Chains A and B, each alone.
Chain A
């Protein structure tokens, strides 16, 4: 018995090492004085200096976060409206159709989303760049917001709504005073998921980005194709910290609001498609 438990710990340790080794490796080498991910030429912050002097990268970082914030804000608004629409829909068939349509972009491979959006923008005659990337990010973030908000609506106490109606609340008052406060944890979680979806996306952006505009993922891709540059390591160390902060905030939010039983299952993974 005792021995068995030891073996399972050993196995878990192995998996954790496997999962964290590449990340650890990247971060450690960002402090290497040399220029390649091999050997060790001493500790140095020179790659961080390079990074902060690289105006192109800084501009791209700003763009990436701008896209992420704008797209997740807009996706949250539209997605919440969608969730409310589906929730209010009394016809079961219509409800199911909307839910299925909603989930199409969630299960589709990113290449398909990217390729079909590229066709769409071209057919409409829309020029590729900041706006096309923004639209694409809004589009693929909406369904996850719907899925985060909808359960909150379904859990909402019905007598709350009836009571509000009984007390004479109008549509707008009902929404702003009763419904939105109740579902706000779902909205917040949806916003955060949209944010990470956007920051994490490579494939869709790669298709609709055009020539002039780039996000971090696309930039890393094109640099990585040219070979190793420890500036990217420095960048990844920074992004690791940002990811940690985001996870932490998200975790606090989801545990704070979800006093319910299964908090772990509420954590949803960012899109895994189209790697």
Chain B
């Protein structure tokens, strides 16, 4: 009799327990994930008076300025990704060969724990017209230049900030490669470079893709660095959104650009998605 009651109660008590967990978490999901996203989409589809319109999208797609800005943003994000990739891959590769590699990796990660406003601020000091880099260049007889507020300074600082986020996933994917595979490759007659090209690099592609994801999407939405280093110009999707929300107060168009950014993000993620599984299932 007792056992029967326990059995009857089990699902009920499990339900209660689940409800107890679901209430706070579900409320968060609803209020801070689903609703805000819906609001953003709704805003992009509304006029100032609250009527439905596609006008915001029409403005966006017919304006040379917006399209150029979007292209620019993608181009900058692409450059930042390439620069960080070029610097990070060898770093991750060499790090992985060190004895105390976890310790050195921690040192790579450490700068990311420092407030990035401060790191950006440091570059203002380094790159300003009277700053240290110009002083250094002056020693070589090069006249002081305006280094700050240029595309180059923007690329430099953005790449600087993003490097650890590229190194980490590549490092992890390299560390997961069985060292035996590199041995086997050498054993079969491949030299160091051939081993790198045919074995190591293909096997670390998952990490490279994860790194690209971790760098490209944030690079599209940068706005703080463009303001402080890139010289108050609207050159990324992120800056454009900030401009429309906080400066010109045109939330509807700002939301439209936000939706575009989300779409760009989804595209990037689907391109860089790991296809390893699909590949192995080819012959099922």
Contacts and interface: CB of A to CB of B under 8 A. Distances in A.
Interface string B52-82: 0000000000000000000000000000000
B221 A109 contact: yes
A79 B32 CA distance: 13
B43 A119 contact: yes
Contact of B258 (A19, A29, A112, A216): A112
Nearest to B228: A224
B90 A11 contact: yes
Contact of A111 (B25, B26, B29, B238): B238
A22 B40 contact: no
Interface in A80-131: 81-82, 84-85, 88-89, 98, 101-102, 104-105, 107-120, 123
Contacts of A273: 217-218, 221
Interface string B155-189: 00010111111001000100100000000000000
Given A12-B91, A207-B246, A272 B228 contact: no
A259 interface: no
Nearest to B262: A112
Interface residues of B, number: 96
B143 interface: no
Interface in B241-258: 241-242, 245-246, 251, 254-255, 258
A36 interface: yes
A55 B186 CA distance: 64
A236 interface: yes
Given A12-B95, A85-B18, A119-B255, A36 B112 contact: no
B13 A120 contact: no
A113 B278 CA distance: 32
A135 B32 CA distance: 9
Contact of A139 (B21, B32, B214, B224): B32
A163 interface: no
A55 to B, nearest CB: 21
B135 interface: yes
A84 B121 CA distance: 41
A69 B31 CA distance: 22
A199 B118 CA distance: 12
Q: Is the interface of A mostly helix, strand, loop or mixed?
A: helix
Contact of B261 (A38, A78, A109, A139): A109
Q: Which of A79, A98, A138, A243 has the most CB of B within 10 A?
A: A243
Contact of A116 (B36, B117, B132): B36
A54 to B, nearest CB: 16
A105 B125 contact: no
Interface stretch (A44-52, A180-188, A260-268): A260-268
A129 B97 CA distance: 49
A81 B21 CA distance: 5
B267 interface: no
A144 B218 CA distance: 17
B261 A236 contact: no
Contacts of B214: 272
Contacts of A101: 29, 33-34
B108 A19 contact: yes
A164 interface: no
Given A107-B269, A111-B241, A202 B168 contact: no
Given A202-B117, A275-B218, A228 B112 contact: no
A38 B131 CA distance: 6
A275 B114 contact: no
Nearest to B21: A85
B233 interface: no
A270 B112 contact: yes
A9 B26 CA distance: 50
Contacts of B209: none
B29 A269 contact: no
A135 B27 CA distance: 12
B160 A221 contact: no
22 contacts: A9-B94, A15-B91, A19-B164, A20-B111, A88-B14, A102-B29, A104-B33, A105-B33, A112-B241, A112-B261, A116-B37, A135-B32, A217-B115, A224-B121, A225-B228, A236-B118, A240-B118, A247-B109, A270-B113, A275-B116, A275-B161, A275-B225
Given A110-B218, A247-B106, 19 more contacts: A8-B94, A11-B90, A11-B91, A36-B125, A36-B130, A39-B135, A88-B18, A102-B29, A104-B37, A110-B221, A111-B238, A115-B245, A119-B36, A119-B255, A120-B39, A200-B113, A267-B109, A272-B165, A275-B158
